[in-house]
Structure 1
């Protein structure tokens, strides 16, 4: 079976408070985008995991795809499989690429072997692998809260709008990103702000990480400014960085403008 784990963007990201367990409670909208990896799972004599494309740091035994298989194998009888991942979504880029790979491993195994795992239980397995993994099980726009692993359906649709994602190649760790954050309650309800027209979001829908990361990495602010300059209705950093995105009303090819960076652009669904 071959599946294509897609990335997501954060539209708005408020860091609300630090939790007793060391994590942070957040408020954000997760929205799926088309930038994808490719993941192939086949039955094999022994379990193996192999990755091509963008180099993935760490031991293959620690990869989230491997952990997803092992998690299901604790509760279900699974044959050995070979997992082959072609990595295209940048790592440490605020796009949830690794989380998507893990979630798609769960959904693919469920389908391949007719495990009959409910949507809710698949999300529970995914939550054990990472805060935003569960989002990719259903893979639809949601308002998220707590650690980013609890969801509320929302009516936001950007279908037909054009998105440009720009990644300057910086790897910003979660620890580094949170080091500059001072959590505080939101002044406005993000769900209400996102009901307003796209062109009103610029001064109201914010990513709290930008305040501390833009001075540290000036290129991030420069990319955001360039996206606005070339007609984006809304532009922001996704997650804890370092990818910036711009949402446009009409198709806008910016590949030559950002020729030194990784760029993905396409239509939102």
Structure 2
């Protein structure tokens, strides 16, 4: 069975507190975007993972294998080979690894008729990673805690053009969090997201930008260039390094390819 695992962007991201367990509490809005990896599961003599179009290592640390082993610890699953074709950039703040792992959970649930409910799938996904539960339903979600406490919100950006640029910069989650200073948010994103999108640039921020733009000026340059080219709103996604812009039209945006890998709506 085959599933296309899409990416996400963060609209606003506030790091509100460092927890005693070493994780951070945050506030953000997750929104799905049409950049896809392909995940396929086929019968096999032994559990295996094959990865194409990426230098990712297919070892037991890979989230796709961890997803299989999580379910196999609960259900009597036969061995399978997981085939993963990567297209979502790595280290880009787009949630590709989390999306792939959640796709494995969904595929196994369907292929072997496990009848796991949506809520149970979210709980299982949360054991794999903070972004994973979002990809179970793939709808606009307001998220708090470590990103696993989700609340569906009414947000539809389908009338706009979402454009992404991934520069040749890889930022690990650990690196990003080591540079940020947690503080209580002064803004409730559930309210801010209901403002006219033209006002987002004045109110909705990503806390990671302050430190990462200083260390990697190119990322800030991409955001500024998007505004120069007419973006209604632009931001780094997640902990970076990709930057997205929300536009009325994609006319005249080809120059963005000089900053890195460009994803226009035709290839999102």
Do both proteins adopt the same fold according to a TM-score greater than 0.5, normalized to the shorter chain?
yes
Residue pair 2:12, 2:189 contacting (<8 A) in 1 also:
yes
- Tell me whether 140-149 or 252-261 shows the greater mean CA deviation: 252-261
1:59 positional shift: 4.6
Question: Which residue pairs with 1:63 in the alignment?
Answer: 62
Question: Which residue pairs with 2:34 in the alignment?
Answer: 34
Q: Matched residues in 1 for 2:247 and 2:6: separation?
A: 20
Residue pair 1:162, 1:250 contacting (<8 A) in 2 also:
yes
Q: What are the superposed Cα offsets for residues 176-201 of structure 1, whole Å, 9 maximum, x if unpaired? A: 11122111111121111110111100
1:259 positional shift: 3.6
1:260 positional shift: 5.1
Question: Which residue pairs with 1:86 in the alignment?
Answer: 85
Aligned residues, how many?
Answer: 268
The secondary structure found in structure 1 opposite 2:257 is coil
The secondary structure found in structure 2 opposite 1:266 is coil
The secondary structure found in structure 2 opposite 1:49 is strand
Q: Matched residues in 2 for 1:264 and 1:252: separation?
A: 14
Gaps of 5+ in 2: none
Report the TM-score when normalising by structure 1. 0.96
Q: What are the superposed Cα offsets for residues 227-251 of structure 1, whole Å, 9 maximum, x if unpaired? A: 0111110000000000000001233
1:24 positional shift: 0.5
Question: Which residue pairs with 2:45 in the alignment?
Answer: 45
- Tell me whether 26-35 or 178-187 shows the greater mean CA deviation: 178-187
1:160 positional shift: 2.3
Residue pair 2:227, 2:234 contacting (<8 A) in 1 also:
yes
Q: Matched residues in 1 for 2:256 and 2:27: separation?
A: 32
Q: What are the superposed Cα offsets for residues 92-127 of structure 1, whole Å, 9 maximum, x if unpaired? A: 110000000000000011011111000011111111
Question: Which residue pairs with 1:207 in the alignment?
Answer: 206
Q: Matched residues in 1 for 2:111 and 2:241: separation?
A: 35
1:164 positional shift: 0.6
Question: Which residue pairs with 1:99 in the alignment?
Answer: 98
Q: Matched residues in 2 for 1:130 and 1:11: separation?
A: 19
1:256 positional shift: 4.2
Question: Which residue pairs with 1:131 in the alignment?
Answer: 130
Q: What are the superposed Cα offsets for residues 72-96 of structure 1, whole Å, 9 maximum, x if unpaired? A: 0111111111111011111111000
Question: Which residue pairs with 1:250 in the alignment?
Answer: 249
Gaps of 5+ in 1: none
Q: Which runs of 4+ in 1 moved over 6 A?
A: none
Q: Matched residues in 1 for 2:33 and 2:254: separation?
A: 17
C-alpha distance 232-209 of structure 1, shift in aligned 2 (>3 A) = same
Report the TM-score when normalising by structure 2. 0.96
- Report matched runs for 1:112-131 at 5 Å: 112-131=111-130
Residue pair 1:13, 1:27 contacting (<8 A) in 2 also:
yes
